Structure formats: C-alpha cells, structure tokens
Structure 1
C-alpha cells in the first residue's frame, strides 16, 4: 500500500466522487458529486492545502482516500486544517487502510506546518478515539448530529 495525490489519477475521481456524495452530501448545503469531482480535480499536488490523498495497492488500484482541507464545518471556520472525506472502499475495510490514511493526513498537515488538526464525524468516532483524537464538541451539520475532534500533531 502506498500514498499518492488523487489528482495524479484522474480516472479514479468520478467514481470516488459519487461514493463521497452518496456518503456525505446530506451533511452539506449545495454539495454533491459535481462539487466533489471539482474539489478532487483542483486539489493541490505540491504539499499545500487543500489536498486529497489516495491509498493505492501495488497495481495502483484505489483502496481509499482522505483529504486535508482548510475548513469543513460552519461555525468552526477559525480552526484549520481539517481531515475530511476519509473513505475506504468496502472490499478493503478491516485491513488497516483507514488508519493508514489518517496517519498520512496527519503527517501531511504536520509537514505543511500545522500543530493540530480537526475533523467531524457522524459515526466513525471509535477509530479516531483509538488513534488519539480527542472529542471537543457536539454540534450539527446541516441538521445532523456530529462530533468534532481535535488531534495534536507531534513532530
């Protein structure tokens, strides 16, 4: 398993954007497959933010993805950066891909000069707690209850 920028693999973007929209569009106003495609295609590939990372197998098949973005949740715009769009394809779940992607997103943000990182989730809080993320708030995203987490990024 290795990591690369998703934008370096344009053929993977449309089906992944559809999966992400299916998973999270209900949490955002005016965000869906088209917006996801645009975000993935225009993400930076130079170490800057926003960036979307892809976990790939030895044949360059997609295992999962994660993004590092400036802000992700109304009311919390003063906090950045955010871990977002963490998605492991169903056939690759339970093999450590999610934890690998979280660690890569943390490394990426740390190397970009950030000392902490944030995320929000509806359901995956167990993974983040096991990885040392601390819950800092409960709020709503487009009317849905979510939990906000913070992670200190140690050198």
Structure 2
C-alpha cells in the first residue's frame, strides 16, 4: 500500500469525490452539490490546506483522508483537522484507515503543528481506543452532539 497526495493523482479526483459525496454529503443531509465536492478536491495541495491523501494499491484506490484548516466553524481556534476519513468497504479491516491517519499525523507535524483535531458524531470510541484525547462535546446548527478529539503530533 502506498500513501500519496491526491494532487499527484488527478485521475482519482472523481472517484474520491463520489466516495466522499455519498458518505459525508448525502448521508448527512448536507445541501452541498456534487460539483462543489469535485471543485474542492481539484484544489487540494501538498503543503497548504486542504490536503487530501490517498491509500493506493497497484493504482487501485483503497481509501482517503483530508486535512482541513477548520472542520467546525464554532471552534476556529483548533487548527488543523483530520477530515473525511473513508475506506472502501472491501478494503476495511486491512489497516488502510490506520495508515492514512498515521501519515496524516506525520504530515501535520512536518507542517509545524503540534496537535491535530477531529470531529465525530458517532465514532468516538474508535478514536478514543486509538489514543485520541477527548476535548469537548459541542452542538452546531446541524448536530446536537459533536465530540471533538485531538492527538499530539510528536
């Protein structure tokens, strides 16, 4: 498995956009349009946010993760954020997500940050069991309960 930047694989933009649109836009009732997701992923970088990483195996996309400057408007003091972690169902339980998260933490450290944040509405135990530190529970205009976690990038 190879972890690389989406910007190095523009042929994967539509595939990533479809995965993220179905999982994080349609499933959450967001009003974002598919074309907005494609535009977002077309504009990801390697040293400035947003950054998107891919897990690839012989050119096949296994999963993806992004780093956003902010993923929770009501908590703009927390920077940066792990976001849109997704592993294809047929690639789950193979360590793909863990590799993507590990590379994300390393990259955030390389960029000069000491901490990485994430938000979750329903997978708190997953992150807690992997060493993420609970920060707080908040609510915004769409969700009544959002758990915020952080991890040290050391």
Superposed pair shares fold, TM > 0.5: yes
SS of structure 2 residue aligned to 1:63: strand
Partner of 2:112: 113
Kept in 1: contact 2:74–2:140 (CA 8 A): no
Structure 1 gap segments, 5+ residues each = none
Alignment of 1:77-116 (within 5 A): 77-116=76-115
User: Residues of 1 paired with 2:62 and 2:141: CA distance?
Assistant: 29
Q: TM-score, normalised by structure 1?
A: 0.89
Q: TM-score, normalised by structure 2?
A: 0.89
- 1:147 Cα deviation after fit: 1.1
- 1:35 Cα deviation after fit: 2.0
User: Residues of 2 paired with 1:93 and 1:137: CA distance?
Assistant: 28
Kept in 2: contact 1:65–1:85 (CA 8 A): yes
Structure 2 gap segments, 5+ residues each = none
Kept in 2: contact 1:27–1:143 (CA 8 A): no
SS of structure 1 residue aligned to 2:93: coil
Provide, for residues 107-132 of structure 1, a one-character-per-residue CA deviation record: whole Å limited to 9, x for no partner.
11000000001010122223311221
SS of structure 1 residue aligned to 2:38: helix
User: Residues of 1 paired with 2:129 and 2:15: CA distance?
Assistant: 30
Provide, for residues 22-61 of structure 1, a one-character-per-residue CA deviation record: whole Å limited to 9, x for no partner.
222265865342222112111113x33321000111x111
User: Residues of 2 paired with 1:54 and 1:32: CA distance?
Assistant: 22
Partner of 1:41: 42
Aligned residues: 152
Partner of 2:3: 3
Distance 1:113 1:64, change over 3 A: same
SS of structure 2 residue aligned to 1:75: helix
Runs of 4+ in 1 over 3 A off after TM superposition: 26-30
